[in-house]
Structure 1
Amino acid sequence: MKRALFIYNPMSGNRLVPRELDRIIEKFQENDIFLDMYRIAEDNSKIIEAMHRKDIDMIIGAGGDGTIGNVANWMIKEGIKLPYGTLGTGTCNNFTHNIDIPEDMEKAIDIICQGHSYSVDVGIVNSKHSFLSSLAGGMFVEASFKTEPELKQKLGPFAYYLKALSELANLKSYPLEIDTGTDIYKENAYLVMILNGTHVGSFKRVFSESQIDISDGLMEMLVLREGNPIEIANMFLMMMRGEDYLKSDSVLLLKSDYFKISSTEKVNMSIDGEKGPMLPIEVEVRKKAIEVFVPYTKL
């Protein structure tokens, strides 16, 4: 029998994990995996200590993108090389979508129990924080911070759309300097995002899967330049519908293993949907830094 550290956020999304806890334990036990349960709290030192136990075969994170990203961050900081299973129980679940983990809990558990895995890239921010799917700043980022938990539980990802739409009438651009290690760009931009996958926030197809490889040691940066507000609103609607908006002159698309972003103004950044540091920041991409369980079709 294998042993797993199961780390969950009881408040994520619709609070599925606490409601289905007994069934989750039963499902893993049916597959000869015994769970040591840990609940995310203000002080998570006991969880980090438990990650170093010699009898642990894998780590499982259950929650939204913030929780799944935090667990990965602890693993990377502590040098934990165990395979990582992810159960997306939050509002958007971008990382689990990026690696084709279904939202259906039992199907997701089946994938972990089957044991197929591969390694994915991780972004390291200011040599301190890691992210699995996204780092973003500017337009819509504040909206995600301000979206009420009750609204997210009732409406899911659509809650972010409503908040973002309310901001379109008050677009604000920021002066940005972007260094990719080989080139420097100076732009007035509404939004800057570094992505490791096709999903971010409530947008399900920011890029097509053919454009993205989450284990190539590179990440994509999308910059939404200052422009005509009507065109920006149309692009936003195209993003919502999953249509191709990348040919617009308002979009700057970069790809690198290093980014430095600075501004003369205060710009809040989010890391996997959670509040992150203010600009300036440096991002280093670590190739295949963490091993995750995936469907065999993803191999």
Structure 2
Amino acid sequence: MRSTHDLAVLDQSQGGGALPHAPRLLVIANPLAGTGAGRRLLQRTLDVLRAEGCRLLIAEARTPEEIAALAGGTGPEDADAVVAAGGDGTINAAANGLMQRDFPLPLGVLAVGTANVMALEMGLKRAPRALAAPFLTGRLRPVTPIETPTGHALLMVGAGFDGAVVATLAARPALKWRWGKLAYLPPVLDRIRHYDWPEISVRIDGVPHRAHGVVAVNGRLYGGAFRAVPEGDITRPGMHVVLLGGRGVAALLRQGAALAAGRLDRLSDVRILPARELVIEGPAGLAIQADGDPLPSAPAVLRVADRSLNLIWP
């Protein structure tokens, strides 16, 4: 028989409910995420939460596997919510752990890492009181992730050039710790010199397409505060697939400039299609990334997950 607390969590998983007053929060902090400024921001935010009566249990985890195990092993008898303190990789690892449970706890975000696209999707500001505020109001909103071959992605899955950049960065993890957001610059320059821009074959809801870059976006944003899908909404189930035509550095620069200007959807060699399923057929060995971490190479099948995860929303 489920407890009344279990039933409350079940209601929340369908998009209702709220955190209790002075919630018990398991904060999973990744000491490798972000820089010294991020760690100071985390400490000041935790001080605000304690002062407001939140009951905190702090746990450190360094790898996606450790983060997922901590989140997935936490039930309503332990905490009212799990909080991921780090970047998008930390948040996604915690989400993957929670999605392993039948009735996952809500997930909170403390954006103190290198890349924080999820915080931008949520409208969170990087200031102690702004980061603490959602846990005090306790509002929950459901987010339906993208199901990947190894788990779930809350934000995006990219195949092609960006997958190759992420794979290159993953082989040099110290760059993120030392350089912060600038850590992506050496892998980008390396891939510009050596990437061969293969044609990518995909099927979107069964219909074949070809492109030189493919990105499945769960919300609006890609690569930071850049609007890739104007009509995207991360709280609505469903993804959009961005098909990038053209090949080579000139196309990359042109599309990058359009993305930065919020005009990617206006380019003639870019198509944006709503989707429930994306099959990346090849070429074999094509690099794929999910929320900034490498996935197994193509072929791969991505789908809109059949259930959602509640996020603690500002």
For residue 54 of structure 2, what is the aligned residue in structure 1? 33
Deviation per CA, 1:92-151: give whole Å up to 9, x if none.
20111111121223311122222122111211112x410100111211332234345565
Distance in 2 separating the partners of 1:229 and 1:264: 20
Residue 253 of structure 1 aligns to a residue whose secondary structure is strand
Q: Post-superposition shift, 1:171?
A: 4.7
TM-score, length basis structure 2: 0.81
CA contact (8 A) 1:216 1:287 kept: no
For residue 107 of structure 2, what is the aligned residue in structure 1? 84
Deviation per CA, 1:221-280: give whole Å up to 9, x if none.
1121234753442222232x3241323232122211111111133112111101111111
CA contact (8 A) 2:166 2:292 kept: yes
Deviation per CA, 1:195-222: give whole Å up to 9, x if none.
11222234622233xx112232210111
1:266 aligns with 2:285: yes
State percent identity of aligned pairs. 20
Q: Post-superposition shift, 1:40?
A: 0.7
Distance in 1 separating the partners of 2:204 and 2:165: 27
CA contact (8 A) 1:91 1:157 kept: yes
1:216 aligns with 2:205: no
Cα separation, partners in 2 of 1:64 and 1:161, compared to 1, 3 Å: same
Q: Which runs of 5+ in 1 are unaligned?
A: none
Residue 229 of structure 2 is aligned with which of 187, 201, 207? 207
CA contact (8 A) 2:278 2:301 kept: yes
Map of 1:10-49 to 2, 5 A cutoff? Answer: 10-16=31-37, 18-19=39-40, 23-42=44-63, 44=66, 47-48=70-71
Residue 77 of structure 1 aligns to a residue whose secondary structure is coil
Residue 3 of structure 1 is aligned with which of 24, 40, 54? 24
Residue 176 of structure 1 is aligned with which of 191, 197, 200? 200
Cα separation, partners in 2 of 1:171 and 1:22, compared to 1, 3 Å: closer
Residue 181 of structure 2 is aligned with which of 141, 157, 161? 157
For residue 8 of structure 2, what is the aligned residue in structure 1? none
CA contact (8 A) 1:180 1:256 kept: yes
CA contact (8 A) 1:260 1:281 kept: yes
Q: Post-superposition shift, 1:4?
A: 1.1
Cα separation, partners in 2 of 1:230 and 1:242, compared to 1, 3 Å: same
Q: Which runs of 5+ in 2 are unaligned?
A: 1-21
For residue 193 of structure 1, what is the aligned residue in structure 2? 215
For residue 266 of structure 2, what is the aligned residue in structure 1? 247
For residue 94 of structure 1, what is the aligned residue in structure 2? 117
1:67 aligns with 2:90: yes
1:238 aligns with 2:261: no
After alignment, is 199-208 or 244-253 more displaced?
199-208
Distance in 1 separating the partners of 2:185 and 2:267: 21
TM-score, length basis structure 1: 0.85
CA contact (8 A) 1:118 1:293 kept: yes
CA contact (8 A) 2:197 2:247 kept: no
CA contact (8 A) 2:92 2:153 kept: yes
Deviation per CA, 1:133-185: give whole Å up to 9, x if none.
01112113322343455654565434435643554455522232222224222
CA contact (8 A) 2:116 2:224 kept: no
The structure where strand makes up a greater share of residues is 1
After alignment, is 254-263 or 283-292 more displaced?
283-292
Q: Which amino acid in structure 1 is aligned with residue 295 of structure 2? A: G
After alignment, is 76-85 or 37-46 more displaced?
37-46
Distance in 2 separating the partners of 1:170 and 1:26: 47
CA contact (8 A) 1:161 1:202 kept: no
Cα separation, partners in 2 of 1:35 and 1:278, compared to 1, 3 Å: same
1:279 aligns with 2:301: no
After alignment, is 65-74 or 221-230 more displaced?
221-230
Residue 140 of structure 2 is aligned with which of 110, 117, 125? 117
